[in-house]
Amino acid sequence: MTKASIVARRAETVATVNRRLFGAFVEHLARCVYTGIYEPEHPTANDDGFRLDVVELVKELGTTTIRYPGGNFVSGFRWEDSVGPREKRPVRRDLAWHSLETNQVGVDEFARWLALTDSELMMAVNLGTRGIEEALDLLEYCNHPSGTALSDQRIANGTTEPHGIRMWCLGNEMDGPWQTGYRSAEDYGALAARTAQAMKAADNDLQLVVCGSSGSGMPTFGDWERTVLEHTYEHVDFISCHAYYQERGGDLGSFLASSLDMQYFIDTVVATVDHVGRKLRSSKQIQLSFDEWNIWYLDEHKASDEVNEEWQIAPRQLEDTYSVADAVVLGNLLITLLKNHARVRSASLAQLVNVIAPIRTEPGGDAWRQTTFFPFSVTSRLARGTVIAPRIDAPTYATAVHGEASLVDSVVTHDDDSVAVFLVNRSLTEPVDLTIDLTEFQVTSLTEALTLHDDDVYAKNTIDDQERVSLKALHGAELVDGVVTLRLPPVSWSAVAAHRES
């Protein structure tokens, strides 16, 4: 039997949990907005046309800050098209996804949807086809109280109170040749710095996110961050990171260790950011916004013919159906984000509905939870207070892509009267008998012990079998004298919560 142990000590404190780590992303892409969150003809739609069955699932998922409206879409977006009377809004071509955008949902409607889900808006400006003036106009429209041309336009459009958006992304993936209007690091850095300065002249309390690399595999990775920050360091607050993972060539062992790449990504960006900060003798520290992360079977999408050539409205694109193994990796990525929470202060699961998403819908029909829904919703619900990176003593295994990887990964959070432990077992075949030393926290009872595991690691929830995969009780978990003992099934994600009587 494989054995492992975990020890959680207050001395290994990482950071205080910021709810922004549980953000997500809604892009005007395929069926994320149209027939995803918005479908006026749906039986559950409210007066704004938003599906309330989806709202309920989003609340259960526990997402917080939602990045909007793109993604690649934002680099061709004219925000003015998406406000005012709906019947007057133009239909435009979206070059990023080769579809038609009807603009029936815009910033004012989206803010109303966010209120239904108790979420915060994180807005991206277009620095692909547009520039400083349009960014300032959007900021004025959204955030200025009244008495100016654009704030009065918002009021005339029916939104009396300003949206009060604090977090703004300065474009999207500007290092990617696929991006409409992509630029060199020098060009983008100069434009982002001027845009940031102007936006902060309007409101110095904004928190601005400058574009980092679209992935750790980009040829410019590292150099891009350095150059962009040399221009923008004193004007921005976050730099973005984007990472997507998938199983390749049947190598499940490497896929299950994907979080090692995320760790490499974070370590490299932190080193680069701090190098620039020191070089500039700045007293400021730039944080990381991991504002796109998920599992995405991108290779398969590229090889398929699903990208239509006919300019459709809300075509079916990127509707990945996730397996148990995908959910285990997603849960592990979330563990990694928490372990790095000292510097990763914001993150957005990409995306929220239908498009590489934890929630799926059918037009006129059901909404259901994908496998990946479960580790996200439980972590968002249980992670409270302070993050601890525990000491993990576990056997390792060899991966073709990431070298040696621990069979077990874990992170711990605690507040005054509760402790939560999040766990993965990456073994393809072996259960792991685990002890978790929580003696420092004087917990007196286990309140939850849940696992996501299935004998078929490729089991999925589908429209015809929407509850094929769900959380199960982790039988046999026990707490004795502050030490939890339990058995982690192979290829599993688990969570344990304990309570302290005061």
Residues that bind ligand AHR (CB under 6 A): 27, 70-72, 172-173, 214, 292, 350-351
Q: For residue 140, how many other CB atoms are within 10 A of its CB?
A: 18
Report, in Å, the least distance between residue 215 CB and ligand AHR. 8
| For ligand AHR, the closer CB: 97 or 141 | 97
| For ligand AHR, the closer CB: 324 or 350 | 350
Residue number closest to ligand AHR, CB atom: 71
Report, in Å, the least distance between residue 27 CB and ligand AHR. 5
Question: 140, 173, 247, 448: which is the annotated catalytic residue?
Answer: 173
SS (H, E, C) 261-330: HHHHHHHHHHHHHHHHHHHCCCCCCCEEEEEEEEECCHHHHHHCCCCCCCCEECCCCCCCCCEHHHHHHH
**Beta strands at 403-406 and 396-399: parallel, antiparallel or unpaired:** antiparallel
* DSSP E strands, 161-217: 167-170, 207-210
Report, in Å, the least distance between residue 494 CB and ligand AHR. 28
| For ligand AHR, the closer CB: 14 or 107 | 107
Annotated active-site residue 173? The verdict is yes
Report, in Å, the least distance between residue 173 CB and ligand AHR. 5
Report, in Å, the least distance between residue 375 CB and ligand AHR. 19
Rounded-to-10 torsion of CA 15, 17, 20, 24: 110
Report, in Å, the least distance between residue 295 CB and ligand AHR. 12
| For ligand AHR, the closer CB: 49 or 70 | 70
Q: What are phi and psi of 210, to 5 degrees?
A: -90, 150
Angle formed by the axes of helices 185-202 and 223-232, to 10°? 40
Report, in Å, the least distance between residue 179 CB and ligand AHR. 8
Beta bridge partners of 68: 123
| For ligand AHR, the closer CB: 105 or 452 | 105
SS (H, E, C) 62-74: CCCEEEECCCHHH
d(CA 461, CA 368): 8
At which residue do the structure tokens 């372990």 appear? Answer: 339
| For ligand AHR, the closer CB: 72 or 377 | 72
Question: 39, 101, 247, 292: which is the annotated catalytic residue?
Answer: 292
Annotated active-site residue 310? The verdict is no
DSSP label at 226? H
| For ligand AHR, the closer CB: 352 or 496 | 352
d(CA 67, CA 48): 20
DSSP label at 22? G
Q: What is the DSSP string of 357-419?
A: -SEEE-TTS-EEE-TTHHHHHHHHHH--SEEE--EEE--EEEETTTEEEESEEEEEEE-SSEE
Catalytic residues: 173, 292
